[in-house]
Each structure stands twice: as structure tokens, then as C-alpha cells.
Structure 1
């Protein structure tokens, strides 16, 4: 008799195993997505934020690149400060293409009894604009609007100027010694962005009109810009690069500031990149906060699937197969949430472009950005894997019996090393994506470290809160006793609530502290004796008469006057300024021209930190005193050399000393301050300030401006209050954008909070049914749950306020470099609202539970 040997079943191949996991996961999902609502919403919200920000930034970048010639007014622009180009320099530019010229400077528009106002003058040539078009109201050819008629030049003005001085088209104003008729409102100009932000409204005129004003004095702060349009046959990038390289070698002494069509506004481009990174990090915050919601949803999913897990393991499925099937199911849901977020994020730039059509002053080109959308998808899927793998991994080794009783006695074993490794790899991938695609890796790394620290701290807070609740004596009040027990029992909501609520309050608090510090800096941080006016372009020959005029108009006021020039740093220790590795806080000093002066004595508001001041009658080599923090940022120290281009001449000076400057005083001070012999005989104008007496009123400021415009038509007055208001407007717009973007992270926190409460609803249902059967009243149950939610919410909110204050302090003092204001009003309001929302959400869910009859549910518990 032969024994019958049953052949052993061959283990399924890897491909067959993957196919089986996909088939079973898909079959399970066909039953619906119940329980995954918060999961999908959290992922969609975070992915949408990242995709929308990246796509919108791509649209702006491409718009700027595509419209670079129009924004710049040519293929390349060469700017000079103080002076016009020489005939030799013009011949060089003309040899490479057609040249057009504009001049920009500040001046005072005098409307007689109606007052005077600061204007940003733009003087154009006959061919302006060589690219694009100027729009005016009423519409008319620009040459006709600007032409001279009966000795009066024409001008086109920003409507703000007409409103400020109560003027209308046809009225006549004075600028310097010239009369100008305002013939139209300026609606748009093609090269507005290249000019940057000004303190006054635009006034467009011809260059003949500018010369007639008399404002063009030796040393006047006027910028001449020469735009070159390359011939059509040679307008490629190599030809453009060759022109810029030739300008740097053949015209080395010119001191050009050069821009090309591919980088029409470098400062704006850098700010766009930084703001995009900030908003991307806000989106990533929303995604990470939403990750807590993903973890809650997966834990709830595992809890709901315990019977399925136990059944599958009982009939022979391995733990790995069980985890693989359900991880596949979770990742399919994650793919759905990510796809929804990508669709919304891809559509956002088009909606933005439509909504802001005709309003946005930037060449915004909405576009589908596959690369940016791919990065957003990576963020979403990696976040889902990071937060889902460990809750699912617990089901691998838990025996069938433990799965059935896990609701009462949760199994505390850790996931297998393989799941810990998957978690670590997914987390490393998420960090890697954040770093690789960040504009500044250092900031992204700091952000990730802070987020990791907050997560760990919040987890420690939840553990500490549970340990404290466990150790406290049991109070006699039944509701309080039950609330205390609920906060530390197995399956307690404490960890989820602390994490979601703490993150939300921390973010809100940080924004509140940053906002109040910025507001205080702009509105109340001025010193008691801040100047009320800055006066520019005071001719040297009239400086004594100007001092006497101020003394007569403002008796008792303190005036200060210093020489004023503009210069551009060409090299530092022989290294070209473009090649200097400067810190982010100091790089601006190497970009474009800077104000410079000379002085025999150390100015007020400065203190030497290194080196020595030059003797009073110093006659040696040129020396320079430099702001100490900025010097450190560009690698300058005492004894080093610095070359600046002033009035077309390169001047090399040795660093004699470094200064600490009190910039907040708003007094006259400069980053670079030279020894007097450096600019002996050089033409220049003066800069002055006036600080009113303590009891002086600002009511007569308009009268002072009118008299100044008549007595000194070439002098420009900048009211400090107006300048601060202009800055305040820009900061306010940025703050609004930041609050709007941060709202996504706050919305994610609310979703997570709702999800955490929903995840514990099954356990609450069990408790409520038993308590109602034993005779507990609705009031008793509601009060015990309310006390539990309030206690957890209060502790979480307190931590959130402290963490937000710390984060706000770091941003304000280390990034913005301004004083931190410890006003907790906004943060406490946010914390109070958060606690209220927690209690409200919790009690709404509890009321739904209490509305159910016990009998039908007790049979199924």
C-alpha cells in the first residue's frame, strides 16, 4: 500500500501577491469610503496648497521671463546714478543695438494753494515705450500728451497725485522751475515693475521737461537707464551674454548696473522665490497637520477592520499579507485624496488669473506645471505612508485572540522592524523632497527640525497629561472623576487631541505674535525724537540758505545735514561684487547703488566696534567705515579693501573701522562712511533731516511743503510718516496673504480635531449606552465629557501659546531682525477659540450618541 503524498502548495510569486493585494483592496473599497472622509480631506487640503503655490509661482516666473523685454524696455538695461552716459559709452551701446533712454528721480509737485506732494518722476525720450504700450485716461498718443505747448510741458500722472492735491486733467503744476499741464491719468506703463516700489505717485514727462525743471544739478539723485534692443538677427542669448560681458570689460570704469531680459527685476525674483518657499512650507504644515488626521483615520480603520484581520489570520493569511492588503487599500485612498488636491491646486492659478485679471500688476501666465504637480503628489503620498504604516504595522504580530479583545485591552507591542524601516525610509523621502525642492535648504531644514521638535513635544505633553491624570487622587464629583478616568484610559483621545489642537494653536499664536510685533514696529516703535522729514538734493551752494529757511519755519527744531552721494560696490578685497558669497541678510548691499557720505567725526547713533576713527585732518589713502553686521555678512574686516564706483570712477578704500549703527532712530546714517579726503572736490548734494521740538504739531506740514517748493524747487521732501505708511501697506498685503495661506493649516487642524473626535466615537457609544442603561442622566454624561474635552483643550492650548510665542520670537528676532513684542492678546484669543471649538465638536458628537436608544446598540456591542 503506497502512501499518498499531498504536494505542498507553492508560495505565490511576488507579482501574484501584489495582484492579490490590489484585487482584495479594490474589492473592499467598492463597499464605500466610510471613515475616510477626514483622511481624504486632510491630504487634499495639503496637496492643494503646495500644488497651488508652486503652480502660481511658476506662472509668475514664466510670465516675468516671457515678458522680460517688455518689463525691462529692451533686451538689456544699463543704469547710471548721478550722471548721464558719456559719448563713448553711448557709442558702445549703440554699436550693439537700438538705444532708448529714461531718467528717474524724486521731486516735488507744487499745486500752489492746493499743496505740494512728492512724486516719482520718469522722463522719457521720443520713442518711449519702445516695447509695449502706455495706457492713459483719456486715451491719446503719448507724444501728444507730453509735448510742449505755449511754454508749458505736458505730463501724465498717477490718479493718486490728482486725488492727493485735488487736481483734474488740464490743471497746471510746477516741478522745480518748469510748468507742467496734467493732460491725462496714467493707467498703466509696460515697464512699471522694473522701476520697483516708490514713495510717491508716478509723474511721466519728457526729458526736455526734466531739464527745464532745473533738478539736474551736479550730484543730483537721478538714475539714467539706457535700454538696448538687439537687432532681430542677433537677439539670441549668446549675443546678449556677449554684450553684457563686453560692457564689463570694455567699459569697466562706467559703473553700470546691468540687467537683462531674463532677469528684469532680480530683487522681485528673489522675493518671489522666498515668498513661494514660505507658502510652500505653510502648505507642508497643513499636510503634516493633516497627517495626524491620516493617522487617526488609519487607526479607526484598523479598529473597524479587526474582525476582518482576525478572520483572515484565522484561515491562514500571514500577518504580512494582512498588512499588505490593507496598506494597499489605504494608499489607494491616499491616491484619491492626492488626486483631488492636485486637481484643485492645478485649477487655482487659472482661477486666480481670472479673478485678478486687470488688477494684478504682474505678467501672470496661468499654466499647468507637471513638475510642480509631481512634487506636490510626492508630498501627499509620502505623508500618507509616513502616518499610516505604523498603525497598520501593529496588526502583523497581534494574535487573533488579541485582535478580538484589543478594544478593551489594547496590545502595546511595537510594529516589526520592517515597518519601522518603511516608516524611516518614507520619512527620509519626505524630508529629502522638502530639502531638494526648497529655494533655501537651510530654512527648509530649520523648519523641518522645528516641526519634528513640536511633534515630539506634543507627544510628550500628551503622555505627561495622561500620567498626571493617572496619578491624581480620584475626586468625589462623579462627572469630574469620569472625565479624569477618560483622559488616561486605554484608547483615550488625549494624544490625538493634544497633537491636533496644540499644532493649530501654536500656528495661530505664532502668527499673532509676528503680526503684533510687525505692527508695533511700524506704528509705535519710532523713537520719541524721530525726524519728521528727510530733504534730498539740497544744492551745496544753497545749503546755508536752506538751514536758515528751516530755522525760520520750524523754530526750536533740530536739523542735521550731511553730504549725499550714491555709489555701487564693485569689488570686495579684489573679488567682484557678483562673486562675493554674502549672507542673506547682507546680500542687498551688493545689489545696485547705495547711499554714501563722508564725515570728519563719528556720527551720532554710531559706535565703533573695531578699528579706530581717522584723525580730523586726515590726508592719506581713502578710508571707509562700514556697518559691522553687514561687513561680517560680506566677509569684510578692518584692513580689507573695498572698491566703489561713484560718478563713473572706481575708488578703492581701506576699511579703517566697523560701526554698530542705531538704525531705529531714523537719523542720518549710512552703511558706508568715507574719510573726507576721499571725495574732495567731487560734486554732490546734501541730505538733511528735521526733528521737531517736543511740543510741536504736525498740522503745518502742508504749509511747510508749499513754501519749500517755492523757495527751493529743486529740493525733494520725504515725509517720514508717508514713507512708513507706504511700507506698512506692503507689509499689510503680505500679512494678509500669509494669514490666508496659514488658514489652510488651521483648516487642516480643525479637520484633524473633528477626525480625532470621530475616531473615538465608537468607544464613546459603548460608554454612553452602558451608562444610560445603569441610569446615568444625559446631563451627567455631557458634563463629564465636557470637562474631559475642556481639560485636554486647555493644556493643549497653553502649550500651543508657549510654542507659538517661541516660534514667533525666533521669526521676529532672527529672521526679521526687529524687536519682539510679547503681547499675548491675539494668542490667548486664538487659544480660547480653540478650546471652545474642541468642547463644541466633542459635545455635538456626544449629543448624537445620546440620541440613540440603548437596546438596539447593546445587542451589537
Structure 2
């Protein structure tokens, strides 16, 4: 006989993918209440990453599209300190039409007592500009504006020069004793970017005017650019002609650029800066991820009844999690779409608003690859921060879901959800590293973010543990505040994390900004020379030295011979075949200043090898910067091949030096033995340091007198050079502040979201406490103490962590001296405390005004 039939047990009903998706959409019809912070955090982070990447792509495309205009031709060949020989010129002209542009620095002397100013002199020949438009005011043919008339050549000048020397159109200036009439001001210059950062206003003259000045002498510092026009030539044809020129003049020492890669150094700078801003945007996204976690936790709490209902009718926990994860990811998709739309539209908005003011060619475009990357960042962040709050409901029984309001259970998250979290985090790390220009920087950022999260979590747990163990105050308000810090569902972890990240970021940025500006504008000039003098003819060097001694009695004067040269090979390996690290690539890119000396230069210390003696100094030897040598895998005995004035020579490294660059004294990456360049034409470089430090009036007098007595010598005020650099740095810092501001705003959203997520618990507390006789003033006092304690603890952490981060970036990345700016850090910390208290009380004020009766009926 058969035994009794087994009892029928209801099988769990599985929700198929289509049904899960339909149910998720159906629930979302009720709106997105409670997801405002979620949407804002994801959208902000994605918009920051997408916007930065889109602008970078637009700039890169603009450089590519406008390459010929930026270069002034399809191919450009540049030489330093010398003009091309007739044979070299013939090689170029055999390939296409050639226009020549010569650039150098010079002194412009105004009449009377108006003084002198450093200018960037640009001599152009017929046919300039071959591409693009030179816009002047008044408008006129360039040849007429530059022509000689009444014994003076004409010039087109930057309007800044008129202001600096108190000039007007029609006035005369003198350059190296040659009178020049200011006939027009320069509005825009098509090849401005290719010239790089200038330390003085632009002055455009004719080639005849340059010849009249006599500034081009053997050894003087000047650049000759030969621009080839190849109409209708394809990129492949341009490469073929470039190869033919290289084969015909292998020893010319050209620096070649093609229209397809008009400014590789600038393109690299864009890529580096883009990566940095992308990491800042990713910081905003990760900070926003905390808000995502808070929002999802609150969402799960609101859906407690629905989850219990689904599980009571047999839905497995995994399917319930899948249902609500689908909803969360749909909302994340909406937030990501909003962020992508904002980021993709940013280049078009920038171009529309600032087209005429932009110094760079911007080609607004939709960048699918960059937008896809930003979308991946947004979705992975949402998944990583949402999965654990959602996974918590998997194993809680139905009764536990209802009871969990007042008795939260300790449920260990299942392995599958921790695996999803690990996969999402691995995806974020992989994207950040794989797309990084500098993978080392990306890894440092990832490690720093992980450490920051871990430390803030420890701070929150430590604060809760301390509050749990402190003796209970007798007064009701402090006792309630202390209990709120560690009770189940306390706001402590969320507030510490969101506020701590924001304070840390603000403190780090304020310290970086203060130290960079301090280094550029205050600490360096106090130790640096007042004036630099370039292009001192070797034959006049002794007389010039004596002249300076008369002009500035007691001043310290240093001078060394100076030439320009390019490194063409290291240990016999051509530079083109070398892939140096990013921090050393600049020394192989373009021309470098070089010198020779009998003794160790001031500001240098030998760290390997030995300095040459009189006998050794007759052979080609070189002293190399120790830090750069280490980056380039060079050591004592290695060989360095350089091209100077069209002559290629090889020198052996005799020693390595530790150089103190921050003093701004005379020093070089490469210092050669005197015998290396015996008899080579050169000019001298000199510095003058006044005994009493910076003195604007004395410096102006010396500049004027030097310009009159030695018109071919170029004088540079260190203060003006630093101001030019400071202006560029200021713009970069402004961009960093803008991107970092998004991260700070995300922190504020997270903080607001954390307070909103605790609204239900606060409401419950307020109702019960008011029934028991608590007054609004007593409750406000308790909440003020609670938020004040959280703000103070977080501010202390933020100051310490932000100071450490600022120190690492300033000293290790920027290689600058670090000075803690206590005032800025304390201001940020105090603001954090006030903000936490203010925002916390603003969120509870409405709760405290509610009458208990309507809520007691629901308990």
C-alpha cells in the first residue's frame, strides 16, 4: 500500500525577465519620489566626466582640423639660433612653396621717460599668413602696414604694449636702435598657439626691419620657421614629402611638425589635464555613490510592505532583489542620460558663449566613445552602491521585514551580491586605469579613494563606539544627542562619509592653490634674481658686466655662455625610438638651453662621478641632471648626442648633478666641458640680483638704461615672467576648482539625502518624545548637539586628511615646497560644522512642528 500523500507545498513563483521588467516599470509609474538625490548625484558625476571628455575631444579635433592654420603651413621645419643654409632651403623648396617666419625676444624702447618693455618680435616675409587671417585694427594690407616710410619701418603690435608704454597709433618705438612706427594693433593671429607662452606683447615686423635691427647674430637666441604649403596634398603625400626632406638633410637638426599633429606637446597637455579633471569628476561620482546608497536604503525601507507581500506569495528573495534592482538601474539610466545630455552639450555651449574669446580652436562635436565611457562610470557606480542595500532584503523573513522598523536584524549579505559589488568596483578601477594617460596617477587616485572611504568608515564606527561608552549625561538634551549618535539607524555613517569627503577635498584644494600661488608670487622672487639678460654678444660680455656693476652697485651678477641644442640620441639610440616616462619626456622634446663651464655651477651638487679637471675639460664631456638621468636610464659613462647649430656631436656623461631649480638661478640640464664647443659662436646669459630684493623702480631704470646702451640685449624681469606663468596656472586652477566644485556639490546632495533618509526615524522620535513632554526647544538643543558633534569630528578628520593629500600633491607631484595654510583649513572646518548644524536643523524644523495625533493613529 502506498503511504499517505505528502502535503502539498506551494512552489516559489519565479518572476521571468519580461515580467520583472514589466513590474519594475509599473511601480515606477508612481513617480520618482525619494530619488531626487540619487538622480542629482549620478547626473552631476556623469555630466562632469562627459563634459570634460567632450571638450577635450573638441579641442583635439579642433587642433587636427586647424592644424595647417596653427602651423602656418602643411609642414613646418624649425631651427634654433641659425638660418637654414642655401642647400637646406633648396631641399625644402623642392617639395613646395616656402614662407619664412623668424621669432625672438627683444626690447622695445619708447621715447622720453616712458621706459622699455620686453616684446616677442616676429618677422614675417611675403605671403604671410599663408593660411588663416591676420586681423588688425585698422584693417589694411599687411605689406603696407609693415613697409618702410619716412626712415622708419611699420609694425603691428599687441594692444598690451600700447598700455604698458603709454603709446598710441602713430607713435614710434626703438628696437635695437631701429625706429619702428606703430601702425596697427593686433586683434587675432592665426598661428598664435604654435608660438607657445610668451613673456611679452607681440610685435610683428617685416624681414627687412629685422635685418635693420642687427639682432640676428651668431649665437643669438632666435627661431627660424620654414612653412611648406602643399595645397590639396593628402596626409599620406605629406608624410612622403617629409620622409624625402629627412633623407635629403639628415644632419640639419630640424624640428618638424605636420598639420595632422600640429602641436604634440599641447595635445599631450590636453590629455594629461583631461585625465586629472576626469578623476576629479569620478571623485564627484563616487561621492555621489554614497547618496545612491542612502537613497536605495530609504527606497528599500519604503518598499518594505511590497517586499513582504511578494515574499509572502512565494516570490524568491533573489527575484525580489532583481525586481527592485531593475527599478534602481532604470532610474540610474535616466540620471546617466541627463548627465550625458549636459556633458555632450557643454562644448557647444562654450563655443556659442565664448567663441571669440577662446585662444584655442574648438570644434564642438558629439564624442560617442567618451560619452559611452561616462555612461559606464555612472551605471557601474550606481550598481556598486545600490547592490548591498538591495541584497539585504533577500534573506530577511516576512515577519522580520515588518519588525525591522524597530528591531533591525543583523543579516549577512549573500556572496552573490558581494560578488556583484566586487565586479562593479573592478569595472570602475579597470576603466580608470585602462583609459588613463598616466596609469600611475590613476592607481594613486584609486588607492587614495579606497583609503579615504575606509578611514571615514572607521571614523564613523569609532565615533559611534565612543558615544556608546561615554557616561550618560543627566540633562535630557545631551543624553538624547549622545544616544542619536550610536542608535540603530543613526545618521552618523552617512553624515561622516559625505561631509568628510567634501571637507577633505576643499582643504586639499585650498592648500594646493595657496602653495602654488605662494611659490610663484611670493617665495620665489624673494630668493630669485631680479633680472635676466639674454643674447649678450660674447665680444661685449665684459663691457656689459662692467655696465651692470655701475648701474647697480653691490648687486650680484652672474653670467655664463649659452647656446641651444637638441638631444638626438642617448647611448646611441635615436630619440624617436625612446619612450621616456612622462616626467622626463620634455627634455627630449624640442631644443634645450646648454652651456659649458670649468667649475661646478652654483646651485648644483655632484651626486655621482666627478667634475672634470683641466686636462679632461678638453674632451667632449657632459654633466647631466641626476633626476632626469635616472628617469632616462642614464648613468656615468653613458653618451648623449646633441645637435647644436647644425653640428652633431657626442659627449660622455662625466657626472650627475642635483640641481636646485627653484632658486631660478642660472643652471642647465646639460653642462658641457669647455673643450666640447671650443670656438663655437654663442651669446652670454646673465642674471642680476639686487642686494635689497625686489625693487620695481630700480628694475625699471636698469631696463631702460640697458635698452639704450645695449639695444641687442634682451632683458626679462623675473616678476613679469612669473606673472605670465601665474596667469596660466590661475586658469588651470580655475578649471580644477570648477570640476572639484561638482564633487563638493555632490557631497552636499549626499548630506541632504542622508538627512532626508532619516526623516522617518526623526518623525517617529519627535512624535514619541513630544507625547512624553519634550518641548521643541529641548529637541532642537539635542539635534544641535548631535549635528555639531558630527560636524566637529568630521571637520577634524577632513583637515588632517586634506592636509596630507595637499602635502603629497604639492611635494611629490608638483615638486614644490609645502607650507600649511592653517587659516584656510580652519575656515573650511568651521564652515563644515556650521553647515552640518544648519542643514540638520533645517531638516528637522518641519518635523518638530508636526502634531502627534495624526501620526499616533498610524503606529
2:382 aligned residue: 384
- 1:83-162 to structure 2, matched below 5 A, reads 83-113=82-112, 114-162=114-162
8 Å CA contact 2:618–2:674 kept in 1: the answer is no
1:420 aligned residue: 418
CA 1:551–1:617 in structure 2 vs 1: closer, same or farther (change >3 Å)? farther
1:474 aligned residue: 472
Alignment partners' CA distance in 1, 2:127 and 2:644: 29
Q: Where does the alignment leave 5 or more consecutive residues of structure 2 unmatched?
A: none
8 Å CA contact 2:46–2:375 kept in 1: the answer is yes
2:363 is paired with a residue whose SS is coil
User: What do the CA deviations read for 1:323-346 (whole angstroms, capped 9, x no partner)?
Assistant: 111111111111111111111111
Aligned match for 1:811, one of 809, 822, 833 = 809
TM-score (norm 1): 0.97
Aligned match for 1:456, one of 434, 454, 457 = 454
8 Å CA contact 2:618–2:676 kept in 1: the answer is no
User: What do the CA deviations read for 1:754-782 (whole angstroms, capped 9, x no partner)?
Assistant: 00001001000000001101110111101
8 Å CA contact 1:306–1:404 kept in 2: the answer is yes
1:269 aligned residue: 267
2:16 is paired with a residue whose SS is helix
Alignment partners' CA distance in 1, 2:820 and 2:551: 41
1:174 aligned residue: 174
Q: Where does the alignment leave 5 or more consecutive residues of structure 1 unmatched?
A: none
User: What do the CA deviations read for 1:700-723 (whole angstroms, capped 9, x no partner)?
Assistant: 322222221111110000011111
Alignment partners' CA distance in 2, 1:354 and 1:53: 17
1:700 is paired with a residue whose SS is helix
Alignment partners' CA distance in 1, 2:475 and 2:243: 83
- 1:511-522 to structure 2, matched below 5 A, reads 511-522=509-520
Shift of 1:550: 0.7
1:80 aligned residue: 79
Say what the alpha-carbon RMSD is for the aligned residues.
1.8
- 1:394-409 to structure 2, matched below 5 A, reads 394-409=392-407
Alignment partners' CA distance in 1, 2:704 and 2:789: 64
CA 1:660–1:527 in structure 2 vs 1: closer, same or farther (change >3 Å)? farther
8 Å CA contact 2:71–2:259 kept in 1: the answer is yes
Alignment partners' CA distance in 2, 1:10 and 1:799: 53
Alignment partners' CA distance in 1, 2:178 and 2:841: 74
User: What do the CA deviations read for 1:516-571 (whole angstroms, capped 9, x no partner)?
Assistant: 11111112222755211000011111112111211111111111111010001111
1:524 is paired with a residue whose SS is helix
Query: Which region of structure 1 is more displaced relative to structure 2, 241-250 or 442-451?
Result: 241-250
2:57 aligned residue: 58
Shift of 1:248: 3.5
1:258 aligned residue: 256
1:70 aligned residue: 69
Aligned match for 2:234, one of 233, 236, 241 = 236
- 1:685-704 to structure 2, matched below 5 A, reads 685-694=683-692, 697-704=695-702
1:225 aligned residue: 225
8 Å CA contact 2:559–2:684 kept in 1: the answer is yes
CA 1:215–1:744 in structure 2 vs 1: closer, same or farther (change >3 Å)? same
Alignment partners' CA distance in 1, 2:517 and 2:527: 19
- 1:279-298 to structure 2, matched below 5 A, reads 279-298=277-296
8 Å CA contact 1:581–1:634 kept in 2: the answer is no
User: What do the CA deviations read for 1:2-22 (whole angstroms, capped 9, x no partner)?
Assistant: 999999999878xx7111111
User: What do the CA deviations read for 1:399-422 (whole angstroms, capped 9, x no partner)?
Assistant: 111111111111111211111111
8 Å CA contact 1:108–1:709 kept in 2: the answer is yes
8 Å CA contact 1:529–1:692 kept in 2: the answer is no
- 1:335-734 to structure 2, matched below 5 A, reads 335-526=333-524, 528-618=526-616, 620-694=618-692, 697-734=695-732
8 Å CA contact 2:76–2:258 kept in 1: the answer is yes
Alignment partners' CA distance in 2, 1:744 and 1:709: 50
8 Å CA contact 1:112–1:706 kept in 2: the answer is no
Shift of 1:583: 2.1
Alignment partners' CA distance in 2, 1:296 and 1:494: 12
1:216 aligned onto 2:216: yes
User: What do the CA deviations read for 1:142-164 (whole angstroms, capped 9, x no partner)?
Assistant: 11111111321110000000110
1:190 aligned residue: 190
TM-score (norm 2): 0.98
Alignment partners' CA distance in 2, 1:606 and 1:387: 52
Alignment partners' CA distance in 2, 1:540 and 1:418: 77
User: What do the CA deviations read for 1:704-745 (whole angstroms, capped 9, x no partner)?
Assistant: 222211111100000111111111111111111111111100
8 Å CA contact 2:566–2:590 kept in 1: the answer is yes
8 Å CA contact 2:118–2:716 kept in 1: the answer is yes
Shift of 1:231: 4.5
Shift of 1:371: 1.6
1:843 aligned residue: 841
Shift of 1:285: 0.7
8 Å CA contact 1:43–1:338 kept in 2: the answer is yes
User: What do the CA deviations read for 1:10-49 (whole angstroms, capped 9, x no partner)?
Assistant: 9878xx7111111111111111111111111111111111
Shift of 1:795: 0.7
Query: Which region of structure 1 is more displaced relative to structure 2, 606-615 or 239-248?
Result: 239-248
User: What do the CA deviations read for 1:588-645 (whole angstroms, capped 9, x no partner)?
Assistant: 1111001000001111111100001111354543000011111111121100000010
8 Å CA contact 1:135–1:189 kept in 2: the answer is yes
Shift of 1:238: 2.0
8 Å CA contact 1:513–1:826 kept in 2: the answer is yes
8 Å CA contact 1:601–1:616 kept in 2: the answer is no
CA 1:6–1:481 in structure 2 vs 1: closer, same or farther (change >3 Å)? closer
Alignment partners' CA distance in 2, 1:792 and 1:731: 36
Query: Which region of structure 1 is more displaced relative to structure 2, 248-257 or 46-55?
Result: 248-257
Query: Which region of structure 1 is more displaced relative to structure 2, 23-32 or 691-700?
Result: 691-700
8 Å CA contact 1:146–1:154 kept in 2: the answer is yes
Shift of 1:250: 3.0
**In the comparison of the two structures, how many residue pairs are matched?**
857
Alignment partners' CA distance in 2, 1:824 and 1:579: 48
Alignment partners' CA distance in 2, 1:468 and 1:697: 58
Shift of 1:112: 2.3
Alignment partners' CA distance in 2, 1:527 and 1:365: 40
2:347 is paired with a residue whose SS is helix
Alignment partners' CA distance in 1, 2:315 and 2:224: 79
1:435 is paired with a residue whose SS is helix
Alignment partners' CA distance in 2, 1:578 and 1:726: 32
User: What do the CA deviations read for 1:168-206 (whole angstroms, capped 9, x no partner)?
Assistant: 111111111321111000011100001101100000011
Shift of 1:825: 1.6
Alignment partners' CA distance in 1, 2:688 and 2:546: 12
User: What do the CA deviations read for 1:770-813 (whole angstroms, capped 9, x no partner)?
Assistant: 11011101111011011111101111111111111111111111
1:569 is paired with a residue whose SS is strand
User: What do the CA deviations read for 1:221-278 (whole angstroms, capped 9, x no partner)?
Assistant: 010011112253xx12222222333343332211111111122112211111111111
Query: Which region of structure 1 is more displaced relative to structure 2, 23-32 or 197-206?
Result: 23-32
Alignment partners' CA distance in 2, 1:558 and 1:419: 70
CA 1:18–1:83 in structure 2 vs 1: closer, same or farther (change >3 Å)? same
Alignment partners' CA distance in 2, 1:440 and 1:611: 33
Alignment partners' CA distance in 1, 2:63 and 2:326: 43
